[in-house]
Structure 1
Amino acid sequence: MPVEFLSDDQAAAYERFVGDLTRSELEGFFLLDGTALDLIANKRGAHNRLGFGLQIGTVRYLGHFLTEDPLDVPWSAVEYIASQLDIADPSVIKRYTERQPTAYEHSWEIRAAYGYRDFADPGVHDPLVEFMSARAWIHAEGAVALFEQAKAWLRRERVLLPGVSVLARLVAAVREETDQRMYRTLAEAAAGADVELPLRLRDLLEVPEGKRFSELERLRKGPRRDSGLAMSGCSTPTPTSAA
């Protein structure tokens, strides 16, 4: 997967819960609102009510549902939801997956009630790219920071997160386009200041015949002594004329 800029831990945290949840995370993502309580009230059995509540908290926190195993959540989340629903025995959650279609049906009910959209839906891609492009241009954010900003935007807009590699590719593409835009802007500014400046800058990248380093690399090293002779040796050579 093209997620080289993400660590294994970061990629894992994108797809599932990693470690326990803090009190603030429980209150921020697993606190049941009026809509949730109304939906849960219609569910038969404590295990279905508890499972439904967990799925609401899961999609809020992760940005997607745990389709393979909706019970792969921290136990603290189970207990927190159970306490809100007055379910004395949280272990009843084990029965939630006895009927396989139940969790799937609940996820679609939650999507409809809260207005969640798929990543591929119209009206998602272009606004997201516009948001990321602005962040990359104004804040010069690195790939990981931009990836996290994209995740936050999708969750705010109630868009279900795509696979980690899908979002990573989009982040990489946006950063590449932003870099190219910056290069074009700098080149145009340099040419506007001095027509020959782009040529002189280009020549700094070339390795002169018989030398091991480019002029840019030589200038980066700076003088070894604080003397006039050493300083003059670091001056930029006369630029080559344009052909």
Structure 2
Amino acid sequence: MPVEFLTDEQAEAYVTFTEAPTRPELERFFFLDDDDRDLIALRRADAHRLGMAVQICRVRYVGRFLGEDPLAVPWETVEYLAGQLGIADASCVKRYAERRSTVYEHADEIQRRFKYRDFTDRKWGREFRSFLYGRAWTHAEGPVALFGHAVTWLWKSRVLLPGVSVLAGGCRRRVRRPSGACTRRWPARRTERMRRSRRRWPSCWWCRRAGGSRSWSGCAPRR
């Protein structure tokens, strides 16, 4: 899906494999440790064992579970995982998606086991928005750079990445908002009582970050 500030190539490359992982990447993200093997061992069929291994390592590598095509991964990664599991015929994984409910059930198990969070989680949503606000205020960078930092933050925090348009929209809004500092919005008639109570009026988040003034009826971005 095209996004305003991302090229078509950048949007299509989001949470997908643009090329096969390098050998160091395979060893880092596609090596099955004891926890991985304990969960995979609960499956009997080789197709299910290998398919779950693909899901575990894919979400670890790109930050999102399999989409419409559960086998949209480079074949080198499948063979690397099959070798670790002692599966001679890696092509058996093609049977993994025959029952779609199995794919989603495995994704739920992986998420619970390895504590991946949903992007819609309130707690992590607040922390993510705070990160975007802080990054936008303290760094003079465009939405593309902020988008990249957002992906990294979510990946490191084990928050499952949302759709590209959702994440891009959030980054675009955060970049635009700080560029227009808050302005005072006083009523035309300033009474003495209003002047005395001015110090009690709360300042908005943007004013506090910018060290600006309090406002009468909220803040307004400069046009």
Structure 2 alignment gaps of length 5 or more: 184-205, 212-223
1:131 matched residue in structure 2? 131
**TM-score normalised to the size of structure 1?**
0.71
- Conserved 8 A contact 2:15-2:63: no
- Conserved 8 A contact 2:2-2:11: no
SS of match in other structure, 2:86: coil
Structure 1 alignment gaps of length 5 or more: 190-243
**TM-superposition CA deviations, 1:68-95 (whole Å, max 9, x none):** 1111111011011111111121111111
- Which structure has the larger Rg over C-alpha atoms? 1
Report the AA paired with residue 4 of structure 2.
E
**TM-score normalised to the size of structure 2?**
0.77
Report the AA paired with residue 89 of structure 2.
D
Are 2:39 and 1:43 aligned? no
Report the AA paired with residue 134 of structure 2.
A
Distance 2:176 2:5 in 1: 14
Q: Displacement, 1:180?
A: 1.7
Give the % identical residues.
51
Report the AA paired with residue 28 of structure 1.
R
Cα root mean square deviation, aligned: 2.2
When the two structures are aligned, how many residues end up with a matched partner?
187
1:16 matched residue in structure 2? 16
Distance 1:66 1:143 in 2: 26
Distance of aligned partners of 1:23 and 1:181 in 2 relative to their CA distance in 1, 3 Å threshold:
farther
Distance 1:37 1:146 in 2: 36
Distance 2:104 2:126 in 1: 29
2:217 matched residue in structure 1? none
Distance 1:182 1:23 in 2: 50
Distance 2:165 2:100 in 1: 28
Distance 2:167 2:2 in 1: 10
- The worse-fitting range, judged by mean Cα deviation, of 130-139 and 142-151 is 130-139
- Conserved 8 A contact 1:2-1:169: no
Q: Displacement, 1:2?
A: 7.0
2:140 matched residue in structure 1? 140
Q: Displacement, 1:182?
A: 9.0
1:82 matched residue in structure 2? 82
